[in-house]
Amino acid sequence: MTLIFVRHGETAHNAQRRFQGQTNIPLSARGREQARAAAEALRTEAITHLYSSDLARAYQTAEAIAAAQQLPIVADERLREFHFGSWEGLTWDEIVAKTPGLALDAWRQPRYYTPPGGESFETVVARVRAFLDEVRELPDDAVVAVVAHAGVLHAAIAVLEPKGIDPLAISFANGSVLKLPLPR
């Protein structure tokens, strides 16, 4: 089985480097271009299943892929971004200013913090693990595209545990595509 992870296209919050979490923000004009580019990059892939977070930015990205592949989209809440609680809408500098003790570079290590009113990395990993466990039940020749968010994609890599790769060391640019085998 093959997994193709796609990070949603850019939003206004991405451009401003704001934590959007589960705030439902649509793609920007640039994000719509990135979604079309991802769909074009995947045009030759024989995708059999297309899953997406139900948040607008991911779902809109999935719509571009669905149109190119003539596939239905299965929206799944488990693919939603981290819930960042009271941090949603803030930049990292604003968060650090309100939360003494957070290191300036700690945003790269979400396993070490839980935003007030939000989710821990372990919680996101658990819901992504449940999603991937269901995907593993698909036929061996399935090619599964998953359109989601950077946090969810980091959690998926943590679940898959590829040798020698720190899941939080990977950078998922908006509209990026990563193709991996899904071990049984």
Residues designated catalytic: 8, 81
Q: In whole angstroms, give the CA distance from residue 17 to residue 4.
A: 25
Q: Which is nearest to 114 in space by CA: 85, 92, 78?
A: 85
Q: Which of the 8 DSSP states describes residue 85? A: G
CB 129 within 8 A of CB 159: yes
Classify each residue of 106-122 as buried b or exposed e, where b means 16 or more C-beta atoms within 10 Å of its C-beta.
ebeebeebbbeebbbbe
2 φ/ψ angles, rounded to the nearest 5 degrees: -115, 135
Classify each residue of 125-149 as buried b or exposed e, where b means 16 or more C-beta atoms within 10 Å of its C-beta.
bebbeebbeebeeeeeebbbbbbbb
Q: Which is nearest to 149 in space by CA: 71, 51, 70?
A: 51
Task: Label the pairing between strands 143-148 and 74-75.
Answer: unpaired
